[in-house]
């Protein structure tokens, strides 16, 4: 009986290990979706709406994108084991659509490179690495959730909704 239990455990544990969905591949997949949504949102919002805020006290549309840019550089510097780039600090000075959108896209390209070299082992190698790895996707999805309201009130269908509508046709 004891041998049967040990045998079953040996069969089950590798299966449980394989079901760990915090893998580089899974995170890359979710990263690509939120990257596409944020970059498309930056493109879709008219330049004169970059200074728009839903209510007093909230960030402007541009400030949300700048916040994403800065966190991307901070998180992905950790993933790359590098100091944070000067571009992270420079992002705070940006105001115009073209420069804010370009900075956002550049930060996502920097992160895509970081994820390209990511392994599951590296992602879990330290608390800081795991946090940066997960934060990259989670935080950007939170930002996207916030800016959807800015898009909708401006009469723009958010990219995630637009892509679902296009897929149904």
Which pLDDT tens digit goes with each residue over 96-129?
999 999 999 999 999 999 998 888 788 888 889 8
- 26 sits in the region (left: phi over 0; alpha: psi -120 to 50; else beta) called alpha
Residue 3, domain member (yes or no): no
Q: Give the chain's domain count.
A: 1
| Cβ pair 139, 67 in contact under 8 A | no
Helices (H), 45-158: 61-80, 86-90, 97-116, 120-123, 127-153
Residue 161, domain member (yes or no): yes
Residue 64, domain member (yes or no): yes
- Assign residue 132 the CATH number of its domain: 1.20.120.450
Residue 31, domain member (yes or no): yes
Residue 44, domain member (yes or no): yes
Per DSSP, the chain holds a count of helices (H) and strands (E) of 8, 0
Residue 142, domain member (yes or no): yes
Q: What average pLDDT does the segment 60-70 reach?
A: 98
CA distance 106 to 25: 21
Residue 164, domain member (yes or no): yes
Residue 101, domain member (yes or no): yes
pLDDT at 12: 44
pTM above 0.75, yes or no: yes
From first CA to last CA, the distance across the chain in angstroms is 58
The CA-atom distances, in angstroms, between 105 and each of 16, 43, 68, 164 are: 37, 10, 10, 23
Average pLDDT, the chain: 86
Could you tell me the residue range of the domain that residue 50 belongs to? 22-168
Would you report the helix, strand and coil content of the chain in percent, each value rounded to 5?
A: 75, 0, 25
| Percent of the chain residues past pLDDT 90, beyond the cut | 67
Look at the chain and count its residues: 169
């Amino acid at each position: 009986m004891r041998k049967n239990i040990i045998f079953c455990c040996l069969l089950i544990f590798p299966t449980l290990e394989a079901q760990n969905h915090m893998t580089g591949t899974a995170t890359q997949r979710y990263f690509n979706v939120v990257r596409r949504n944020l970059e498309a949102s930056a493109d879709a919002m008219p330049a004169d709406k970059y200074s728009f805020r839903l209510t007093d006290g909230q960030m402007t549309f541009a400030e949300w994108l700048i916040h994403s840019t800065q966190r991307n550089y901070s998180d992905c510097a950790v993933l790359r084991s590098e100091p944070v780039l000067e571009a992270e600090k420079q992002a705070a000075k940006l105001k115009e659509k073209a420069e804010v959108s370009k900075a956002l896209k550049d930060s996502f390209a920097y992160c895509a490179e970081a994820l390209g070299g990511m392994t599951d082992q590296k992602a879990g190698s330290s608390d800081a690495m795991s946090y940066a790895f997960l934060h990259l996707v989670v935080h950007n999805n939170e930002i996207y959730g916030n800016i959807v309201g800015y898009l909708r009130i401006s009469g723009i269908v958010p990219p995630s909704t637009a892509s679902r509508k296009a897929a149904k046709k």
